[in-house]
A and B are shown apart, each in its own frame.
Chain A
Amino acid sequence: MAASVCRVGSTVGRALAKSRSPILLSLRRGQASVSYAQSLLGAPETRLTALDNGLRVASEETGHATCTVGLWISAGSRYESEKNNGAGFFLEHMAFKGTKNRPQTELEQQVESMGAHLSAYTSREHTAYYMKTLAQDLPKEVSFEAEIEQQRGVVLRELEEVENNLQDVCLDMLHATAFQGTPLGNSVLGPSDNARTLTRQDLVDYVNSHYKAPRIVLAAAGGVNHDELVTLAKSHFSGVSFEYEGDAIPVLSPCRFTGSEVRMRDDGLPLAHIAIAVEGAGAASPDIVPLMVANSIIGSYDLTYGGGKHLSSRLARLAVEEKLCHSFQAFHSSYSDTGLMGIYFVTDKERIEDMMHWSQNAWMNLCTTVTESDVARGKNALKASLVGQLNGTTPICDDIGRHILNYGRRIPLAEWDARIDAVTPRMVRDICTKYIYDKCPAVAAVGPIEQLPDYNRMRSAMYWLRF
């Protein structure tokens, strides 16, 4: 009796699920309403249109009640020079402060009354300004007329704040040393000198040379209508210029990677933050998927993980059994033509040497003995994380913006899935060997790092004599 009720219930539920009504889906509590393969194929398509001036408009109508809309611009600290390093970050603070037509208070009131969130971020190659709101009228242009002096203080305060976030400090120093002498080595925040001396003219110059229509994407996700969005874009953004002064189109030159190290020793800090990385693959490189799978095999860990010594990543298991670290994560930051693939870990000052040894050991295993089951596990973990990250309109919108800037199109989950499925253990081994084996790493360390081995020892651990 109970079984037949369940059967009826599940059939009804399945039928309702096909109609994609969110309320009725709850009748299928406890069972997956759509299979993974179905969900991949059923994902809504991202529509892309380009305006006459080159500005691209992309959106995905996901059926959510809210939406995120924003501008993704191909500008960042990589485009800055020593003199104006930090301009992009400064600019980010000038955003949302009012326009000629609407003063700041009015803009804020409007935004607050809508219940919307304005947000922005600057990274080395991208800048984004976006707003999360109900699926209603979207905000107009972003303005930079605001009071620069006021923002100067804010920026300096933020510089001070960031010093407490040792993960950011460590990874910034990693970039600074790995890409020394190149624009990728510049931090997004810029030096404090620049924060004190940048003028309005510097910011205006920055905007004029980088905020050009072909490098801007208006992306939206959620309950948006693509045609409506295009109309809005035409009316507000047709004026964005696409010509450069003096035809000086900034071309990104390759950035040289230098195997090197930087140590910021401070024995007063409680924990050591250390990152070791090799040069990785650029966003458009075909090697990126096997490298992402490789990173999933190493995985991540921190003290809150409940798996204990049953965690599947070997390094995580060792971290628990030998109490090697407080946390670690394998990361891959990819830029347009290069990247940094590495492991970042936070550990006690007495365990640094052991943790470094086992991290590099994990890399060597990837290059030599990675097995079928490791790769299968890595692939599954990667697929799960790719899907899991797209859990709201903002992550989806961000995904759209970044993909259009990096690849010129949105890469759908089904394609990621296919590319991940194509990875074999031999491929992982070969590609990891190509990027990791016997290469000079870049190392950045902050904190009580006396125990960190000498660079030559870390360099020697990048190969095994038995091979």
Chain B
Amino acid sequence: MCLKCETCKASSDWYDISNHDIVGFSYLLEQLINNINKNLFNQGCKRFFAILTLNSNVPHEGIRLAHTDVKIPDFSDYRRNEVIDPKKSSQESSDSRRAFSYLLTGASTVVGVYMAKTVVTQFVSSMSASADVLALSKIEIKLSDIPEGKNMTFKWRGKPLFVRHRTEKEIATEVAVNIAELRDPQHDKDRVINPRWVIVLGVCTHLGCVPIANAGDFGGYYCPCHGSHYDASGRIRKGPAPLNLEVPYYEFPDDDTVIVG
């Protein structure tokens, strides 16, 4: 191995490394470099620049310890109790250790899946109707506020809602109507739960205008836009509208209130 200082061009002699029985290239390099530096200094080179060109057969300059010097670390801190003793075969406990690991994994998976499901449902359900919208979806009406014969209009789901307190005469009239004559045949009892109260959507089935209450030829509603006449049950009797006024879902939690929607 021949070395030459780049700066002052002082060169050193051959160094014999064959007598070293050290296993480990880094120690060798260290020795070599110490020797180089000593020699270069003696020759007057002030800058200790040495370029090492290794003529080795091996195309790399790796460092490997003797494999028998490599110590496998002691992992006792991480071992399970059954395998801490190196003098005991690990075969006997292997089934129980494996069962424990699989049980833990299985349980964690189930919990994890459930957690994932919850998170996903929460995100997806955030796209459904918000609370204020849902709140608008039902309307609670106090019936005692509506006198007999009167029709009250409420805003419900963005549409007008007619709540009509019918008189006995009106009820009798509507019940007696011959269904065969109707454009959209429906018996009155099919359109009301309690005959005293008619609850319909105030949207004309022709082109969507709002009919006027207590108007028209049949004692019900009259749509001024195109002249549709509805009766006291909200059924179409005359005019261009094809269907009866829509009856929404409603229920009477008690005699004085109705919840629509």
**Closest CB-CB distance, A443 to chain B, in whole Å?**
13
**Closest CB-CB distance, A216 to chain B, in whole Å?**
26
**Chain A residue contacts of B91, Cβ below 8 A:** 257, 279
**Chain A residue contacts of B58, Cβ below 8 A:** 268
Q: Does B145 contact A (CB under 8 A)?
A: no
Q: Are the CB atoms of A256 and B85 closer together than 8 Å?
A: yes
Q: Does B169 contact A (CB under 8 A)?
A: no
Q: Are the CB atoms of A439 and B64 closer together than 8 Å?
A: no
- Please give me the residue from chain B that is nearest to A434 by CB atom: B91
- The range of chain A's interface size is 35 or more
Chain A 191-205 per-residue mask, 1 if CB under 8 angstroms from chain B, else 0: 111000000000000
Chain B 78-95 per-residue mask, 1 if CB under 8 angstroms from chain A, else 0: 000001011111110010
**Closest CB-CB distance, A220 to chain B, in whole Å?**
33
Known: A153-B21, A191-B69, A279-B91. A266 touches B62 (CB 8 A): yes
9 A-B pairs besides A254-B87, A258-B90, A264-B67 with CB distance below 8 A are A159-B66, A173-B67, A182-B87, A187-B68, A192-B23, A262-B72, A266-B62, A268-B59, A269-B62
Chain B 53-74 per-residue mask, 1 if CB under 8 angstroms from chain A, else 0: 0000011111010111110101
Q: Are the CB atoms of A176 and B87 closer together than 8 Å?
A: no
Q: Are the CB atoms of A256 and B86 closer together than 8 Å?
A: yes
Checking B60, B64, B68, B88 against A256 with a beta-carbon cut-off of 8 angstroms, the contacting residue is B88
Q: Are the CB atoms of A156 and B21 closer together than 8 Å?
A: yes
Q: Are the CB atoms of A169 and B23 closer together than 8 Å?
A: no
**Closest CB-CB distance, A446 to chain B, in whole Å?**
8
Q: Does A414 contact B (CB under 8 A)?
A: no
- In the bound complex, CA of A153 to CA of B66 (Å): 15
- In the bound complex, CA of A253 to CA of B70 (Å): 24
- Please give me the residue from chain A that is nearest to B21 by CB atom: A156
Q: Does A227 contact B (CB under 8 A)?
A: no
A-B contact list, 24 entries, CB within 8 Å? A153-B21, A163-B64, A173-B67, A176-B72, A180-B72, A181-B74, A189-B68, A191-B66, A191-B69, A192-B66, A192-B69, A254-B88, A255-B87, A256-B83, A256-B88, A256-B90, A257-B91, A262-B72, A264-B67, A268-B59, A268-B60, A269-B62, A279-B91, A438-B98
**Chain A residue contacts of B69, Cβ below 8 A:** 191-193
**Closest CB-CB distance, B106 to chain A, in whole Å?**
14
Q: Does A421 contact B (CB under 8 A)?
A: no
- Please give me the residue from chain A that is nearest to B98 by CB atom: A438
Q: Are the CB atoms of A169 and B67 closer together than 8 Å?
A: yes
Q: Does A190 contact B (CB under 8 A)?
A: yes
Most chain-A CB neighbours within 10 Å: which of B59, B86, B90? B86
- In the bound complex, CA of A257 to CA of B90 (Å): 6
Q: Are the CB atoms of A160 and B86 closer together than 8 Å?
A: no
**Closest CB-CB distance, A261 to chain B, in whole Å?**
11
Chain A 313-341 per-residue mask, 1 if CB under 8 angstroms from chain B, else 0: 00000000000000000000000011000
**5 tightest A-B CB contacts, nearest first:** A268-B60, A253-B87, A181-B86, A180-B72, A254-B89
**Chain B residue contacts of A100, Cβ below 8 A:** none
Chain B 168-205 per-residue mask, 1 if CB under 8 angstroms from chain A, else 0: 00000000000000000000000000000000000000
